[in-house]
Chain A
Amino acid sequence: DSGVTQTPKHLITATGQRVTLRCSPRSGDLSVYWYQQSLDQGLQFLIQYYNGEERAKGNILERFSAQQFPDLHSELNLSSLELGDSALYFCASSPRTGSGDEQYFGPGTRLTVT
Chain B
Amino acid sequence: GENVEQHPSTLSVQEGDSAVIKCTYSDSASNYFPWYKQELGKGPQLIIDIRSNVGEKKDQRIAVTLNKTAKHFSLHITETQPEDSAVYFCAADSWGKLQFGAGTQVVVTP
Residues of A within 8 A of B (CB): 2, 4, 33, 42-45, 48, 55-56, 58, 90, 97-108
Contact = CB atoms under 8 A, between A and B. Distances in A.
Contact of B97 (A4, A48, A107): A48
B15 interface: no
B34 A99 contact: no
B16 interface: no
Contact of B43 (A56, A58, A100, A108): A108
A102 B42 contact: no
Contacts, number: 57
Contact of B95 (A2, A33, A99, A102): A99
27 contacts: A2-B45, A4-B43, A42-B101, A42-B103, A43-B44, A43-B89, A44-B100, A45-B99, A56-B96, A58-B97, A90-B43, A90-B44, A97-B96, A98-B95, A98-B96, A99-B96, A100-B31, A101-B32, A102-B34, A102-B46, A103-B34, A103-B46, A103-B98, A104-B46, A105-B36, A105-B46, A107-B42
B43 A107 contact: yes
A55 B95 CA distance: 10
Interface residues of B, number: 23
Contact of A43 (B31, B51, B96, B100): B100
B49 A42 contact: no
